[in-house]
């Protein structure tokens, strides 16, 4: 079945540690996104990528980094500079670039907590 | 900037009741409008969308009409089921999507 796979489902970070969240898609989509979801706050865009080897900052990129070396993969690193990382992180993809306003397909999310 | 405002939840209904979740937006130009649904512990799924004024999106008994004059995109369903219990997000988009804060719906038997 085609879809988006996020791993791990739960992740714990120690102070000063960088952690990486995995996102893989087999939908052959060009565009991929990372959102952060906090209780009662909706979703906020961290980074997005329209094509391999290219990515753009979203609304809350500080303290995060991404790479897009392969079409299928868009990992998110939460760095130690992110002082409030506890949240539910959602990865998404769309067939073409975001400018087309297409349907987003979401993964099932990773819950990151700070120890 | 662009923004979406949804009614606060939770919305608590009995099975077969009528549902309305209000959504209004602020935007320059004419964005597309979406409703996404999130079931517990899962990602979001597109429920319906409308791309221009007076368009009606519909899916699984849910409907929403793009009202430019009132900048609204209210979600409605004539008869809710327990399985409709979830969080509903209104969103608008030109390039990337801007989401509302979500409205939790709880349906009891």
Residue-wise pLDDT tens digits, B38-74: 998 888 999 999 999 999 999 999 999 999 999 999 9
Start-to-end CA span in chain A (Å):
35
Supply the mean pLDDT for chain A: 92
Q: How far is B17 from chain A (nearest CA, A)?
A: 25
| Amino acid B36: pLDDT | 96
pLDDT of A38 over the 70 cut = yes
Q: How confident is the model at residue A63 (pLDDT cuts 50, 70, 90)?
A: very high
- Residue in A40, A41, A45, A43 with CA at minimum distance from that of residue A55: A45
Supply the mean pLDDT for chain B: 94
Q: ∠ CA(A7), CA(A90), CA(B3), 5° rounding?
A: 175
| Amino acid A1: pLDDT | 63
| Amino acid B8: pLDDT | 87
| Amino acid A99: pLDDT | 63
Contact A98 B41 (CB under 8 A): no
| Amino acid A41: pLDDT | 83
- Residue in B60, B102, B55 with CA at minimum distance from that of residue A44: B102
User: How many residues does the structure list for chain B?
Assistant: 109
Instruction: Over range A39-68, report the average pLDDT.
Output: 94
Separation of alpha carbons B90 and A53, rounded Å: 31
Instruction: Over range A48-73, report the average pLDDT.
Output: 96
Helical ranges in chain A per DSSP H: none
Name which of A7, A30, A43 to mutate to probe chain B: the one with the most chain B Cβ atoms within 10 A of its Cβ: A43
Separation of alpha carbons B31 and B40, rounded Å: 29
Which residue's structure tokens are 């990382």?
A85
């Amino acid at each position: 079945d085609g879809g988006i796979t996020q791993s791990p489902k739960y992740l714990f970070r120690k102070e000063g540690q960088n952690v990486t969240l995995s996102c893989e898609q087999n939908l052959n989509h060009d565009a991929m996104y990372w959102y952060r979801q906090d209780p009662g706050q909706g979703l906020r865009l961290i980074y997005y990528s329209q094509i391999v080897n290219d990515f753009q900052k979203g609304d809350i990129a500080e303290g995060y980094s991404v790479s897009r070396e392969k079409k299928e993969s868009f990992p998110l690193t939460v760095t130690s500079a992110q002082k409030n990382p506890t949240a539910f992180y959602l990865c998404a993809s769309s067939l073409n670039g975001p400018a087309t306003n297409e349907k987003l397909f979401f993964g099932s999310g990773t819950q990151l907590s700070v120890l | 900037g662009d923004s979406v405002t949804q009614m606060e939840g939770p919305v608590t209904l009995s099975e077969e009741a009528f549902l309305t979740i209000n959504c209004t937006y602020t935007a320059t130009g004419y964005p597309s409008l979406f409703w996404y649904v999130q079931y517990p512990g899962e990602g979001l799924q597109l429920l319906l969308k409308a791309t221009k004024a007076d368009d009606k999106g519909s899916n699984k008994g849910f409907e929403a009409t793009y009202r430019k004059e009132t900048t609204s995109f209210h979600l409605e369903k004539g008869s809710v089921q327990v399985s409709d219990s979830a969080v509903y997000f209104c969103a608008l988009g030109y390039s990337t999507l801007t989401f509302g804060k979500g409205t939790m719906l709880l349906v009891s038997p």
